[in-house]
Structure 1
Amino acid sequence: MVEEGALLWEPSPEVIGNAKITRFAEWLGRPEHDYDALWRWSVESPEEFWPAVWDYFSVVGDRGDGPVVSGTMPGAKWFGGAALNYAANALRGDSGRLAVIARDETGGRRTLTYGELAEEVARVRAGLVRHGVTRGDRVAAYLPNTPEALVAFLATASLGAIWSSCSPDFGASSVVDRFTQITPKVLIAVDRYRYNGREFDRSDVVADIAARLPGLAATVVVGAESWEELRSRPAPLDFEPVPFDHPLWVVYSSGTTGLPKPIVHGHGGIVLEHLKALSFHQDLGEQDVFFWYTTTGWMMWNFLVGGLLVGATVVLYDGSAAHPRTDALWRLAAEEGVTYFGTGAPYIIASMREGVRPSGLDRLRGVGSTGSPLPPEGFAWLYEVLPKVQLGSFSGGTDVCTGFVGAVPLLPIRAGVISCRCLGALVESFDPDGKPLIGEVGELVVTRPMPSMPVMFWNDPDGTRYEESYFAEYPGVWRHGDWIKILPDGGCVIYGRSDSTLNRGGVRMGTSEFYRVVERFPAVADSLVIDTGQLGQEGRLLLYVTMAEGEALTDALVRELKNALRTELSPRHVPNEIIEVPGIPRTLSGKKLEVPVRKILLGTPVEKAANTGAMANPEVLKHFVP
């Protein structure tokens, strides 16, 4: 066992002196290298901090003369009167510098300079215009992590149109549940993809998705004639100036009921947040080669392509993290001279368990970990095999497309501890009564607005769904749904989700999406799905079913259920085990008790995990005790 808090790394005077956050502090006239003082200023004086970020990075656009921030959460408004465009800021790198390295499982490699990337964006932009795409229209993508996805996104953004993407391992129902909410004008897709050494034909799925999207004007298939036609004509590259909060993209985060939440982020909020996070916390700039293992269906793809904002070279990888062996990503990083390597915590744990010894990583300065908490053992293993890197364990979410808490080059790294609360993020730990806690586990809350908080949910005109999602528990305070302990010195420990949202391989999905598939089977009367993952380990996905009268859970039905979940949701969401139980625990009002059952499975006594007095059928809980 590795002791939580054990010191593993300290920044040298050279690291501190060369850090980009140090240069920012000096530019501000704060050369004392006191991170806590800088953080407190950033959260107590947002009307000074965020304009300083804009000016320091010379953001392309007009800052306007309106207030930096007006109003409170929910509904705070930023930079009234400002006009800018994300793509204009992402494509301002020197034309001859390398912008993109794209790799796949087969060893295939493509590159684009900033100039070549801009030329491709201009071509696809012109093609979208020919399909009638204008400012405010939606472009949906069913694409792997390839240059075509990046090009199409930047082309969409340059028009002031709105991007949304899913990866091609998502089943048709999951995609349709997302894209029908935003009624895209154009769908860009692939008809096949490769993963873990196998090729998957998606032509029927793409046809099904397209047929179920009302108002779709065109379907473009990458690798086919329609894509070549889309990008066939050279054109000048222009950028539509849009207001600070104009929608940039729609990403999806699922709760426990209803359709996935269509979260809308604005151009300005994402530009400022990603400039701040990537430069000051991950210390990235023009000399860096930035990699994060992700798909287009996870917000880390949006974060990865943000590397262009700071002038880095971004590495796009299409394929399995462990094909043909567990060390695949480490070898990729060595071959491409990656300076910052990002992945999910489960990959670090898998590498540790498999005895992987990364080598050839001479340029590597930083390793990022997210998706789930990294346990102290994961921290310790990384410093055993890569003793000189800075490990940045980050925690945030799709909801803000960034980290609330993370690392910074000015602070040491300790086992199992996230170094700090990020600049501009007033994160606190609340008890059930809304009182701040220090040194105790509580709800992760944010008590002041951030620019990258959603500008809205799509199809939520009065903001009711948005408010219910984050502000129902503590009015005026963002409740994120994670357990956090804030230490007296500002370090943080995340203990996983405090709600029942599933997180498999970095892809969050609501339990309601499971139930729509499972309970479609006539033999299944009721069901409950539980993700036991915690502390950096993905854990087991368990599906409990109550059978209809006269029905039994046969091997054939288990196969059918798993196949349906694989096809309609994703391979990540196939249960490890399907278990028959006599009843699904529910409250008196009929709500399934997902969180209490998860606690029981993780060892909490029944009497502490659930309020049996508020249950309709407390007698069934005993069937979930491990």
Structure 2
Amino acid sequence: MADTPDVLWVPAADQAGPMAEFAAWAHERHGVDTSDYAALHAWSVSDLDAFWAAAAEFLGMRFSTPPTATLGSREMPGAEWFPGATLNYAEHALTPGPGREDADIALLYAREDGLERTVTHAELRDAVGRARAGLVRAGVGKGDRVVALAPNCTETLVAFLAAASLGAIWSSCSPDFGIRAVHDRFAQIEPMVLVAVDGYVYGGKCYDIRPNVTALQAQLPTLRQTVLVPYLDEDATLDDTTPWAEFTAGHAPLAFEPVPFDHPLWVLYSSGTTGLPKGIVHGHGGIVLEHMKALRLQMELGPGERFFWFTTTGWMMWNLLIGGLLVGSTIVLFDGNPGYPDLGTLWKLAERHRVTYFGVSAPYVQSSLKAGLRPRDQFDLSAIRAIGSTGSPLSEEGFRWIGDAVGGSIQICSVSGGTDVCAAFVGSSPTVPVWLGEISCAALGADVVAYDEAGKELLDEVGELVITKPTPSMPVMFWNDPDGTRLREAYFEDYPGVWRHGDWVRRTPRGSYVIYGRSDSTLNRGGVRMGTADFYSVVEGFEQIVDSLVIDTTELGAKEEGALLCFLVLAPGASLEEVEPLLRKALRSELSPRHVPDRFVVVEAVPRTLSGKKCEVPVKKILAGVAPDKAVSRGALQNPDALDPFLALAPGGS
């Protein structure tokens, strides 16, 4: 395809660190070729048993009962990892060791209104022991469910670790979720204890959610206890709740319940754009091993590092962020609006707390770029060695902006994965260069390739992103899916025995990857397929465009090519008459004449899921005449009213 893109970052010639140490150790112990990352990765996917056993040993997995094998069964779905082993996530996160001694800082917490807190490991262990005792008094034990309607704060982390220490199953929602969205998630798993805040702060405003908590109590009949965290007001009360201070009043020593490797750790959820969100269940062992591999090797986090990623408790990146404790890093928790009072907020946080690994979303990078920010000129960001980006493909302009406006020596770690595996299967390595617009490599142990429709592997061509071999953090099950039917339909229906993720990807001869967007919302014009990410990078590069949504109706089953529609959210003062000719010219020259929309339509907002994804597929279904309630669940949307213009355009709409 295209020529080799510019190299924006290269590893030091004498690069040393955990990845290099692991490569040398694997060569010495296993006699495998680890001369470069490509060779190490090839071994990691060709000999799953040897690689994952080596990773578990090198990374210091704590087995209460040792496994009888590495991989009992390798069939997908249904792979059986480390049969016979028992362990506990919380034990890995809380046991004293490098970076986790009593005086070491476990977490730095900051809220948008200036509230901050520093918590040492001694304090964290004490708090978890107290919360654990509260859960025991409530009757919580192994397999019971504990849920939280709470932000990215200390108490949420404490409650999770306490639940995990007991072998209870955790699930969380961000407090800005609506009642129906929370109910649709939590009701499925029948929780015993709900931990909730009295409210939250966002964009300079305080929101009291106690009425939501009361409503949820009435809708969740399995609740035995609701614990109220006074997050906005230290004197906050609510009927039929237990104050957090009372719940954690009793001191108790920490203990860790050994559970099987695949014992459920937490339940995450699919976007829920159609029907109820699917409850995606991950196991203790798979998450511990996958997160330690990702954090320690791919990201080289460990003692002395400060790890930040902007996230809420309703996104899987929260689960990865708190995993920093597994490798002895200090985790930096931020709660609030990343753009309040301005887009410098997170960069200021990075300066104040000397963040070394700074993670955000691609849209945040794009917003900073469009706002003309040059953080390196305003803040001391010398501690940052790597910037992580996920959530959507990072544009070439975003790559260049980081190098120019943030720091030329910073490694740009664009990564892609999903809630489904609670991990990134393509990302970065400290031993692999960063090429403009590309994700550097596949993660160790992840056999990521592109398939055509017949299941033939493609190189340097766009195809379906598939994973051909099992990885430990793939779901152990979907909740309420006893025979695994929904799990198979979600990932294994198109290519039996192979995980189809639902993204378009191109694997380059360099071993890097380019993600083009969801394969079920691809623009297919005259046989030329293109991901929506390419389209958005052009359209949203205009300062007159705040947001956009592109829909190719051809994929809805029409015998002839359907219309290509582009919906635009305009910046204040901008007009469609002014910007449309410019858009058409840019799309024609930068994409292709086939990808110039038949029609541009101005809307007030683009419908997005609670996790921030554009609702491309649901809107396509609505425009094809699918009943709205079958196309999308309004409770799964950030902005349900944003659907109205699309309903009006649907067959029979008004």
| Structure 1 position 592, deviation (Å) | 6.1
Paired residues for 1:496-535 under 5 Å: 496-499=517-520, 534=536
Paired residues for 1:252-291 under 5 Å: 252-254=269-271, 256-291=273-308
1:173 to 160, 163, 180: 180
| Structure 1 position 46, deviation (Å) | 1.0
Q: TM-score, normalised by structure 1?
A: 0.82
2:197 alignment partner in structure 1:
190
Structure 2 CA distance for partners of 1:481 and 1:4, relative to 1, 3 Å: farther
Q: Does 1:411 align with 2:432?
A: yes
In the alignment, the residues of structure 1 paired with residue 146 and residue 320 of structure 2 have an alpha-carbon distance, to the nearest angstrom, of 19
SS of the residue 1:367 aligns to: strand
Q: Which amino acid aligns with 2:403?
A: Y
CA contact (8 A) 1:251 1:299 kept: yes
| Structure 1 position 407, deviation (Å) | 0.6
CA contact (8 A) 1:288 1:339 kept: yes
Paired residues for 1:294-373 under 5 Å: 294-358=311-375, 359-373=379-393
2:20 to 19, 22, 32: 22
Question: Cα deviations across residues 548-606 of structure 1 (Å, max 9, x unaligned)?
Answer: xxxxxxxxxxxxx999x99xx85968999x99x99831489x98699xxxxxxxxxxxx
CA contact (8 A) 1:178 1:252 kept: yes
Q: Which amino acid aligns with 1:77?
A: E
CA contact (8 A) 1:532 1:540 kept: no
1:160 alignment partner in structure 2:
167
SS of the residue 1:199 aligns to: strand
In the alignment, the residues of structure 1 paired with residue 329 and residue 650 of structure 2 have an alpha-carbon distance, to the nearest angstrom, of 55
Paired residues for 1:61-72 under 5 Å: 61-62=63-64, 64-69=66-71, 70-72=73-75
CA contact (8 A) 2:314 2:611 kept: no
In the alignment, the residues of structure 1 paired with residue 437 and residue 534 of structure 2 have an alpha-carbon distance, to the nearest angstrom, of 19
1:83 alignment partner in structure 2:
86
Q: Which moved more, 1:25-34 or 1:271-280?
A: 25-34
CA contact (8 A) 1:379 1:416 kept: yes
Question: Cα deviations across residues 250-297 of structure 1 (Å, max 9, x unaligned)?
Answer: 000135532101000000000000010011111111010000000000
In the alignment, the residues of structure 2 paired with residue 133 and residue 593 of structure 1 have an alpha-carbon distance, to the nearest angstrom, of 35
| Structure 1 position 419, deviation (Å) | 0.4
Q: Which amino acid aligns with 1:584?
A: L
Paired residues for 1:78-157 under 5 Å: 78-92=81-95, 93-157=100-164
Structure 2 CA distance for partners of 1:369 and 1:156, relative to 1, 3 Å: same
In the alignment, the residues of structure 1 paired with residue 626 and residue 251 of structure 2 have an alpha-carbon distance, to the nearest angstrom, of 61
In the alignment, the residues of structure 1 paired with residue 614 and residue 434 of structure 2 have an alpha-carbon distance, to the nearest angstrom, of 36
1:550 alignment partner in structure 2:
none
2:394 to 370, 374, 385: 374
| Structure 1 position 301, deviation (Å) | 0.1
| Structure 1 position 356, deviation (Å) | 1.2
Paired residues for 1:217-616 under 5 Å: 217-223=224-230, 224=236, 226-254=243-271, 256-358=273-375, 359-385=379-405, 386-499=407-520, 534=536, 539-540=547-548, 584-586=623-625
Aligned residues: 545
Question: Cα deviations across residues 119-163 of structure 1 (Å, max 9, x unaligned)?
Answer: 100000000111111110000100000000100000000000000
CA contact (8 A) 1:281 1:422 kept: yes
In the alignment, the residues of structure 2 paired with residue 203 and residue 582 of structure 1 have an alpha-carbon distance, to the nearest angstrom, of 36
Q: Which amino acid aligns with 2:548?
A: R
In the alignment, the residues of structure 1 paired with residue 147 and residue 517 of structure 2 have an alpha-carbon distance, to the nearest angstrom, of 31
Q: Which amino acid aligns with 1:436?
A: E
SS of the residue 2:183 aligns to: helix
Q: Does 1:34 align with 2:36?
A: yes
Question: Cα deviations across residues 425-452 of structure 1 (Å, max 9, x unaligned)?
Answer: 0011011111111101111100100000
Q: Which amino acid aligns with 2:465?
A: L
Structure 2 CA distance for partners of 1:572 and 1:364, relative to 1, 3 Å: closer
In the alignment, the residues of structure 2 paired with residue 203 and residue 449 of structure 1 have an alpha-carbon distance, to the nearest angstrom, of 43
Structure 2 CA distance for partners of 1:467 and 1:177, relative to 1, 3 Å: same
In the alignment, the residues of structure 2 paired with residue 252 and residue 24 of structure 1 have an alpha-carbon distance, to the nearest angstrom, of 34
In the alignment, the residues of structure 1 paired with residue 463 and residue 550 of structure 2 have an alpha-carbon distance, to the nearest angstrom, of 26
1:557 alignment partner in structure 2:
none
CA contact (8 A) 2:273 2:632 kept: no
Q: Which amino acid aligns with 1:330?
A: W
SS of the residue 1:540 aligns to: strand
CA contact (8 A) 2:87 2:258 kept: yes
In the alignment, the residues of structure 1 paired with residue 466 and residue 130 of structure 2 have an alpha-carbon distance, to the nearest angstrom, of 43
CA contact (8 A) 1:585 1:592 kept: no
In the alignment, the residues of structure 1 paired with residue 120 and residue 366 of structure 2 have an alpha-carbon distance, to the nearest angstrom, of 34
Structure 2 CA distance for partners of 1:222 and 1:4, relative to 1, 3 Å: farther
In the alignment, the residues of structure 2 paired with residue 500 and residue 431 of structure 1 have an alpha-carbon distance, to the nearest angstrom, of 16
Q: TM-score, normalised by structure 2?
A: 0.78
Structure 2 CA distance for partners of 1:58 and 1:208, relative to 1, 3 Å: same
In the alignment, the residues of structure 2 paired with residue 488 and residue 591 of structure 1 have an alpha-carbon distance, to the nearest angstrom, of 42
SS of the residue 2:438 aligns to: coil
CA contact (8 A) 2:417 2:425 kept: yes
Q: Which amino acid aligns with 1:271?
A: V
| Structure 1 position 531, deviation (Å) | 11
In the alignment, the residues of structure 1 paired with residue 64 and residue 447 of structure 2 have an alpha-carbon distance, to the nearest angstrom, of 27
| Structure 1 position 490, deviation (Å) | 0.5
In the alignment, the residues of structure 2 paired with residue 587 and residue 474 of structure 1 have an alpha-carbon distance, to the nearest angstrom, of 27
| Structure 1 position 484, deviation (Å) | 0.5
| Structure 1 position 108, deviation (Å) | 1.3
Q: Which amino acid aligns with 1:49?
A: F
SS of the residue 1:87 aligns to: helix
Structure 2 CA distance for partners of 1:50 and 1:583, relative to 1, 3 Å: closer
| Structure 1 position 500, deviation (Å) | 5.5
| Structure 1 position 29, deviation (Å) | 2.3
SS of the residue 1:165 aligns to: strand
Structure 2 CA distance for partners of 1:356 and 1:139, relative to 1, 3 Å: same
1:7 alignment partner in structure 2:
7
| Structure 1 position 208, deviation (Å) | 1.1
In the alignment, the residues of structure 1 paired with residue 611 and residue 325 of structure 2 have an alpha-carbon distance, to the nearest angstrom, of 31
CA contact (8 A) 2:86 2:260 kept: yes
- Note the residue ranges of structure 1 that are not aligned, 5 or more in a row: 502-529, 544-560, 595-618
SS of the residue 1:476 aligns to: coil
1:510 alignment partner in structure 2:
none
Question: Cα deviations across residues 394-434 of structure 1 (Å, max 9, x unaligned)?
Answer: 00000000101001011111111000011000011011111
Structure 2 CA distance for partners of 1:541 and 1:140, relative to 1, 3 Å: farther
Structure 2 CA distance for partners of 1:291 and 1:245, relative to 1, 3 Å: same
CA contact (8 A) 1:531 1:540 kept: no
Q: Which amino acid aligns with 1:23?
A: E
CA contact (8 A) 1:404 1:425 kept: yes
CA contact (8 A) 1:531 1:541 kept: no
| Structure 1 position 58, deviation (Å) | 1.8
Structure 2 CA distance for partners of 1:434 and 1:180, relative to 1, 3 Å: same
In the alignment, the residues of structure 1 paired with residue 536 and residue 192 of structure 2 have an alpha-carbon distance, to the nearest angstrom, of 40
In the alignment, the residues of structure 2 paired with residue 574 and residue 20 of structure 1 have an alpha-carbon distance, to the nearest angstrom, of 37
| Structure 1 position 65, deviation (Å) | 3.9
Question: Cα deviations across residues 429-488 of structure 1 (Å, max 9, x unaligned)?
Answer: 011111111101111100100000000011111001111110111111101111100001
In the alignment, the residues of structure 2 paired with residue 313 and residue 154 of structure 1 have an alpha-carbon distance, to the nearest angstrom, of 16
Q: Which amino acid aligns with 2:204?
A: G
| Structure 1 position 532, deviation (Å) | 11
1:45 alignment partner in structure 2:
47
